[in-house]
Structure 1
Amino acid sequence: MSSSTGSTTPTPASAEPTAQRISVVIAEDSVLLRDGLVRLLGSAGFDVAAACPDAETFLRAVQEHQPDLVVVDVRMPPTFTSEGIKAALVVREQHPGTAVMVLSQYVEEEYATELLASRTRSVGYLLKDRVADTSDFVDALREVHGGGTVLDPEVVAQLLTRARHADPLASLTPREHDVLDLMAQGRTNSAIAAQLYVSEGAVEKHVSSIFTKLDLPPTEGDHRRVLAVLRRLEQEG
């Protein structure tokens, strides 16, 4: 007597879907650290498409490989100032789908601010000397790749200090400075337009931009032109 059952053939373990490997391009001028990163990320399951000693070859590698993630040092050849983080900004602009992790000994405040200004997703900034555990670093890379933001507390502290001491007048364009100077002389928009040989509409746009950059929203009581001039005079004093 025979019987049949509705059993199914088990799927071999090798046929199970595997997690997608994250492709990475590294920019690091120190050969020891570069090779160390390649070994670390390779052992953690990342695909290291390229490891570059300078910003120029790094950007070429990004263009060629279109990685999921880049790990970038700040100071690289030839001047060892800001080539690396400038390259990271290029990646953010030209390859918005690529996550960016800056790994450096330094906090380049101006460029770090710019790096975070457009969008805060899929970006990180860690200090080499403060990475105490390689597994934490790998976890940080995965978080950035997943759309998260990972910032060293020291980076956050320095950026907050910079923001508190930032001079809003420094954000004005040269033409906006000209307009503000003439406002300080009591000129009307039409008089400013005549002085600068531009239309009155252009002056109105400059004035509106000045109010925005100096954080002077419309109010019922305060005259924004006076407040803008006071900001200028405070800087001179």
Structure 2
Amino acid sequence: MKVVIADDSMLIRDGLARLLAEAGCEVVATADNTATLMRKLDSVVPDAVIVDIKMPPTYTDEGLVAAQQLRSRHPSMGVLVLSQYLEVHYAMRLISSAPEHLGYLLKERVADVALLVDGLRRVIEGECVIDPTIVTTLMRRPRDPSPLAGLTARELEVLALMAEGRSNAAIAAKLSMSPKTLEAHVRQILQKLNLHQSPDDHRRVLAVLKYLRAAH
């Protein structure tokens, strides 16, 4: 996969580029600010972009704004936002309108290159990948019972793991159930959330978005 990296830290840019190259990815460009990132994307079309959430000049939410602009200009491009700190409100802001092809991970995950590459692959495929720490934080908050009131405790467990961007095989292994049982749970979740078969909608992503909005 072709990847562009945007981070103001040279150490992080170079480190990510080296890790991804060793994992078989092609880093086609890097940038140290969002303006440079946007210019480079005029001539380079990657499969995914990794962008730090806090970039020059204000170091507040430049990366988040850039991610939203990228989703508007390149709807099928995967965008993975990295953050040094646990900031649930930023994650929710990122995915609130169009969660497909988006991911939000804490920088501490970068040490596990397999997890990073898996996150990139998932956002490229159209999934929504949220850091497990954020999902756990949301689960601990009091929730409005709607629209998740009809889900069983097991189905909520499955949906939480879906929100982390895990595959069916990984969820089944985590919960010690057979793939067929897991698939049945997923079908029940989608039906209970009124996410019926549609060629235009990514139902798993929509289910995750409903879950995160209810938990926020």
Which TM-score band (shorter chain)? 0.5 to 0.7
Unaligned runs of 5+ in 1: 1-21, 166-237
Separation in 2, partners of 1:96, 1:151? 18
Separation in 2, partners of 1:77, 1:163? 36
Unaligned runs of 5+ in 2: 145-216
**Displacement, 1:94?**
1.4
* Map of 2:85 onto structure 1: 106
The one-letter code matched in structure 1 to 2:12 is: L
For the aligned residues, what is the CA RMSD? Answer: 2.3
* Map of 1:71 onto structure 2: 50
TM-score (norm 1): 0.55
* Map of 1:7 onto structure 2: none
**Displacement, 1:67?**
1.6
* Map of 2:99 onto structure 1: 120
Instruction: Please give the per-residue CA displacement for 1:128-177, whole angstroms capped at 9, x wherever unaligned.
Output: 12445222221221122122222112223455678959xxxxxxxxxxxx
SS in 2 for 1:63: coil
Question: Which residue, 18, 21, 25 being the options, matches 1:42?
Answer: 21
Look at both structures and tell me which one has the larger radius of gyration over its CA atoms: 1
Separation in 2, partners of 1:161, 1:59? 37
Separation in 2, partners of 1:65, 1:120? 23
Indicate conservation of the 8 Å contact 1:27/1:58, yes or no.
yes
Separation in 2, partners of 1:75, 1:35? 17
The one-letter code matched in structure 2 to 1:101 is: L
Q: Are 1:85 and 2:64 an aligned pair?
A: yes
Distance 1:129 1:151, change over 3 A: same
Q: Are 1:61 and 2:40 an aligned pair?
A: yes
SS in 2 for 1:64: coil
Q: Are 1:129 and 2:113 an aligned pair?
A: no
Separation in 2, partners of 1:158, 1:90? 27
SS in 2 for 1:78: coil
Separation in 1, partners of 2:106, 2:26? 23
**Displacement, 1:108?**
4.1
* Map of 1:150 onto structure 2: 129
* Map of 1:24 onto structure 2: 3
**Displacement, 1:119?**
2.4
Distance 1:90 1:158, change over 3 A: farther
Indicate conservation of the 8 Å contact 1:109/1:162, yes or no.
no
Matched residue pairs, number? 144
Separation in 1, partners of 2:92, 2:105? 14
Indicate conservation of the 8 Å contact 1:25/1:61, yes or no.
no
SS in 2 for 1:96: coil
Distance 1:161 1:56, change over 3 A: farther
Distance 1:132 1:24, change over 3 A: closer
After superposition, residues 122-201 of structure 1 pair within 5 angstroms as 122-158=101-137
SS in 2 for 1:65: coil
TM-score (norm 2): 0.59
Identity %: 49
**Displacement, 1:60?**
1.3
SS in 2 for 1:135: helix
Structure 1 segments of 4 or more deviating over 3 A?
A: 107-111, 157-165
